[in-house]
Amino acid sequence: MSQRSEFSPDTLPVDLTDAGIVVEYTDGREVFYGGVPETVTGELTTAPGKEVHVLVTDPTETEGVLVYVNDRTTADSIIADTGVGRVLLDQDEETTLFPGVSVRETGYRTIVDADPQSARGRVFVFEEDDMGERAFEIVAED
């Protein structure tokens, strides 16, 4: 497999709809994350072996940053034109994606820890593979 690089995310247009979440890449293409996200508080541990995408919106919920976590399949030449960020983590490594949002790799699972108040927006986590996808929103604890 060829070497993959990390990318810083650009701010992208976001549309939160009743049917799901639309993110428009800087190259004009769109991605649709379908369904109503399940709400969780604090920390989310993803299912093993899934692709993980983290979206943090701005306070207006019309823009956001999207980061792929440990995506080792998308070629650098493709991701470079999308405005999507990418972080690559080794086992037990942790990084901050955005103020109030960090990710940690445990081997087969990714742990996303978020404080939406510190992030000053909504925090969504999408996990997917060939078998399906699930969406989550990390909300503040009461």
Q: Which residues contact 78 (CB under 8 A, 6 or more apart)?
A: none
Tell me the C-alpha distance between 41 and 24, whole Å.
27
pLDDT of residue 52: 97
pLDDT the model gives residue 2: 55
Q: Looking at residue 42, what is its pLDDT?
A: 85
Question: How far is the C-alpha of 42 from the C-alpha of 38, rounded, in Å?
Answer: 13
pLDDT, position 1 = 44
The partner residues of 95 in beta bridges, in order of sequence, read 103
Q: Which residues of the chain have pLDDT under 70?
A: 1-2
Domains defined for the chain, CATH in brackets: 11-139 (2.60.40)
Identify any residues that bridge with 65 across adjacent strands, giving them in sequence order: 56
Q: Return the pLDDT at 116.
A: 93
